[in-house]
Structure 1
């Protein structure tokens, strides 16, 4: 078949429907085609690509690794095409849904308070917010923007810096009244230190005492999957937690939490970025609007 006769977008659309509807028959109904026509189209696509994309059986359809990769790229290309048509029809006004992945702490303390203004400024944009402190695969999860804390690893993702924040060890007055207030690093051994339940770039609490750098592991007795959960545990008097300053500033001002061992704070800061896949082309208007808004209003300190 000549190159110019291949309807690549049509092939992608049918293949994506096969995956998302779980089979040829369901995809055929959605595409207003016969099951045999859908099966032949996928077979031609596999022959042209030189890779098997699906494993067929009488019970279910399974994707090969090549099929998974092709589906992820095809779904994103089709979404970009749809957004391009929407943008052209709307005169480049931001229109459509943006899927954003954010840490719970950023979501609660930074994103939520400014969302009413964003939605008011961009009535054509809808948001799908996923809160998790773990790093997600943006392409696999079909995520448009992710808020990430810490230094970024080299990748194909593009990033917009959202500032940085200090880290503080804090505890509730009730916990300190019960367990005592530590004055030296060694005294932390007797305290319950709340930690994260997933791997982090720095596994422990860095301290500086008597000119020496110390990395003290967080105790494993109580762990949580995100910083906001650790903050709530600290507020409840469960133990000590080392958290981003922007998440506990109001608690400290209100006396709900107390900074501990500030004299030993090494002064390290945690950076925040809004990251998105880099395809080499212009960002969809809906995604660009959100990133620009976060860069202006969603900064941490």
Structure 2
């Protein structure tokens, strides 16, 4: 059995949520799509779709087949693009990025990328949610921290360092901590991950569970708390750079360097990169060389 027409009909029907909608897009009849999907189910010996109140719904087997076949068809499209040896990147690049790094580093550089590659469209999804690139059809994602997903390749960009900071008003009211151990006697603004507060980590290797009346699962909220004088915060340097420049926040401990967290762009492995995606990766890797801090030398750590 030639599975190609049946697989195409299956993909188009699922994307359109009904045989009728898929048929209208293809300029054919709903029964033609229905028959192709029925042939595929008969060949595989499993039910793939059921008609629900809101259109076609996938069975577990149908969901698995859809994800795998969808990726395979994308690989075919990418292979055709590669074979055509297109010299001008064009088309859509879908990017996922964490809220803070995406807002403070990636998005401000999109305009320069667009001027360099005017035929490439960029869609950026800002979310601290850990997206599944393959299932959600993102071309690449900006990630902070180590990546252990064996399905992904990683393009290292640099490091994201964090600094302890507080507002001048808070420091006037509570005094300025002179060493990390002093933070135990101060109000701490914590990053909330689920129901747990992330511990603060010092260059010496010691940690401190932050304690205070306010915690947030977004650095923008913690930054605002610091600006309002609620306490001491540990925030990415990119997030507070402008606040420090205008004197709204003061960096503590003389900006004592830390190694920082690795920043990288990840993308699915095992597929040919479309020119538009390669252009995006290359451009932002070049941008990172001058804007994301490299790791400090061992002698700089304390």
CA deviations on 1:215-256 (whole Å, 9 max, x unpaired) are: 222347433333344333323333322122233234323322
What residue in structure 2 maps to residue 275 of structure 1?
A: 266
233, 253, 256: which one pairs with 2:225? 233
Residue segments in structure 1 that go unaligned for 5+ positions in a row: none
Q: Tell me, yes or no, if structure 1 residue 289 matches structure 2 residue 279.
A: yes
What residue in structure 2 maps to residue 214 of structure 1?
A: 206
Q: Tell me, yes or no, if structure 1 residue 118 matches structure 2 residue 113.
A: yes
- Residue 41 (structure 1) shift: 1.3
- Residue 282 (structure 1) shift: 1.9
- State whether residues 82 and 272 of structure 2, in contact with CA within 8 Å, keep that contact through their aligned partners in structure 1: no
Deviates more, 1:181-190 or 1:286-295: 181-190
- State whether residues 207 and 266 of structure 1, in contact with CA within 8 Å, keep that contact through their aligned partners in structure 2: no
Aligned Cα RMSD in Å? 3.0
State how far apart, in whole Å, the 2-side matches of 1:267 and 1:135 are: 25
Over 3 Å counting, the alpha-carbon distance change for 1:178 and 1:134 in structure 2 is farther
Deviates more, 1:164-173 or 1:68-77: 68-77
State how far apart, in whole Å, the 1-side matches of 2:19 and 2:212 are: 49
48, 65, 68: which one pairs with 1:70? 65
Over 3 Å counting, the alpha-carbon distance change for 1:31 and 1:69 in structure 2 is same
Secondary structure in structure 2 of the residue aligned to 1:61: strand
What residue in structure 1 maps to residue 297 of structure 2?
A: none
Secondary structure in structure 1 of the residue aligned to 2:153: strand
State how far apart, in whole Å, the 2-side matches of 1:106 and 1:39 are: 46
What residue in structure 1 maps to residue 90 of structure 2?
A: 95
Residue segments in structure 2 that go unaligned for 5+ positions in a row: 294-302
Secondary structure in structure 2 of the residue aligned to 1:298: helix
TM-score of the aligned structures, taking structure 1 as reference length = 0.83
State how far apart, in whole Å, the 1-side matches of 2:265 and 2:45 are: 37
Q: Tell me, yes or no, if structure 1 residue 193 matches structure 2 residue 188.
A: yes
Q: Tell me, yes or no, if structure 1 residue 259 matches structure 2 residue 256.
A: no
What residue in structure 1 maps to residue 153 of structure 2?
A: 158
Over 3 Å counting, the alpha-carbon distance change for 1:250 and 1:266 in structure 2 is closer
133, 136, 141: which one pairs with 2:128? 133
State how far apart, in whole Å, the 2-side matches of 1:110 and 1:61 are: 41
CA deviations on 1:63-114 (whole Å, 9 max, x unpaired) are: 1223223223333444454555567678332111111011222222222232
State how far apart, in whole Å, the 2-side matches of 1:197 and 1:53 are: 41
- State whether residues 155 and 264 of structure 2, in contact with CA within 8 Å, keep that contact through their aligned partners in structure 1: yes
What residue in structure 2 maps to residue 177 of structure 1?
A: 172
- State whether residues 167 and 268 of structure 1, in contact with CA within 8 Å, keep that contact through their aligned partners in structure 2: no
Spell out the pairing of 1:53-68 with structure 2 (5 A cutoff).
53-57=48-52, 60-68=55-63
Secondary structure in structure 2 of the residue aligned to 1:168: strand
Count of matched residue positions in the alignment of Structure 1 and Structure 2: 291
What residue in structure 2 maps to residue 168 of structure 1?
A: 163
23, 26, 33: which one pairs with 1:31? 26
Over 3 Å counting, the alpha-carbon distance change for 1:59 and 1:228 in structure 2 is closer
TM-score of the aligned structures, taking structure 2 as reference length = 0.83
